Structure 1
Amino acid sequence: MLKLNVNNEVSRLREVVLGTAEKNGPTPKVEACYDPKSIEHILAGTYPQEVDMIREMSEVERVFEKYDVKVYRPEVIQDCNQIFSRDIAFVIDDIMIEANILPHREAEVHAIDYIWNQVAPDKRIILPPECHVEGGDVMPWNDYVFVGTYSGEDYSNFITARTNMDAVIALQELFPNKTIKSFELRKSNTNPRENALHLDCCFNPLGKGKAILHKNGFLNTDEYNWLVRFFGQENIFEITKEEMYQMYSNVFSISDDVIISERNFTRLNTWLKKQGFIVEEVPYAEIGKQEGLLRCTTLPLIRD
């Protein structure tokens, strides 16, 4: 049996699911896409190739091996995009919660059944069908769980709206001893620079009390300001709209002082090193063309 444990985003990582680009399939048609950045690259003829994405993900796997992290991969499904393992499930404390994902992505969830089945039955949760939630919107942070959401009446019009208030309420009931703190995110089906697909596209808490933030990703200034007060202005790296588009906030912490980041994130990586972090720089720009990056492709199972 797997004894899961994830209390926050930065404790020392021991076991993780890393997505896969194997048998990813041909470039999708525009109407099959579920984020505006992928559409942009399809129309421009710059959508990432399978061979490049496999190579990039292998670089991340090498970093995990360097830090003695056990890596699981989803079972490969022919012609299926299985890169973003964060979307399909998430762990809070010792409980694994299956995400209620976009309907046509159901196969991705079953690709990790072999892991799900290693978790004690009383530690596996499937939320009611009205609770929409994806792991990119859910961040355990000790006594808190930060959750990105969208509660507008036009929710159903946004394929980019992935987590609803029903899920926020269900998580609060599931974890009564934690504060589930929700944040309304800015959504756009057509403009990737105005779309925070998930909370980790505009916010990421780091070790040493630091955090990455993008103000425009939040619909509610008060909620953004709450995070600024929570972490302290002096501890925040505020990213620009262009940096959010490049997925600067979507780095991944192996521990309190080790972060995997994209090698082209010069401004961020320089700042992180000045703060005393070890930065493992990897090529991930091709993956990033699908509006997801390092946090999106990883599903932590066990942290110390």
Structure 2
Amino acid sequence: MTALVQLSADKLLNSFSPHMLFLNSEPSASGFAVWSHGLFYLVDIALLLLGIGALQQKKTRAIGVSFLLALPFFAAPVVINLTSEWYLLRSFFSYTLLLLVITWGAFAWWQSRFRWILVAIYTLSVLNFASQYFVRYPVMGADAGFFQERVLTQYISWVRQKYPQEPIIVYTIDPPILLSSYLLHSGSVSDETVDQIAQAFRDETYKFDNITFQNTCVDDDDGITLGITEAIRDRCRSLTDSSADTTKITIPALKDSGSVYEILNDTVCGQYDLGTFLQVNDLEQFRLSGLNEELFCKQWITDLKKVS
């Protein structure tokens, strides 16, 4: 019982952590979180203190006491939940109360002759948040947005342009999902292909043209078949397997350059001097269809065996 009370108290305190509220929010790859920004602006610290002070006045003291008592009550979803610590939505009503107090502080500041300082600071704060949300966050969250599947699709398109008859085998734990992703990103769904696609899903063969998506490991011993495997699955041999003498290159994760897909017996990108990590300098690099073969390979394909 004591441990449960302690856990609930910790969750309640953590939901109002100044670090999360004003510096770094929860590192979640979702539309509700921004890794490098708090839930509120830094200037809101001053406004929160001003608001608390304003609510201590005789006319507003009852409102201030009501807000104070309501905070832990509205944080109840955080306290009673024992599965995770996702505060953003579970403490939504508590954060709304804090926003009301901040608004009260902003109103108090607005009554002074320094109101335009507040306008200037808030304008800079909003611009800083906008740059993070619309520029930095899409890059940080790209791994959760199936960006590697786009890279995989573009790689396959280069292979098919040079070797249209070459069979391609893709290992994945979930063939229908990855096939659907490929069809979407490649724009392969049309009146001419819809029957073929429907038949592949009905038969559970998950094959489109000469590309087969399967949940059995790609045979990398023949040294011929172009195979692509999900590197995070431990059912198949990985790049760290020293016994694997097959040439392998990788489609890496955007945030840390770790291997997401391994490409076996490559016939396109291996001819170029590939790096060992990703380096993004321009948002145009994300426009995969605008890159030629060499630029695409050097930018989005890596050779992790060079690390060893």
Structure holding more strand per residue: 1
Shared fold (TM-score, shorter chain, > 0.5): no
Give the number of the structure whose residues are more often helix, by fraction: 2
Q: Which of the pair has the greater relative contact order for Cα pairs under 8 Å at 6+ separation? A: 1
State the TM bucket, normalised to the shorter chain. under 0.3
Taking structure 2 as the reference length, the TM-score comes to 0.25
> TM-score, normalised on structure 1?
0.25
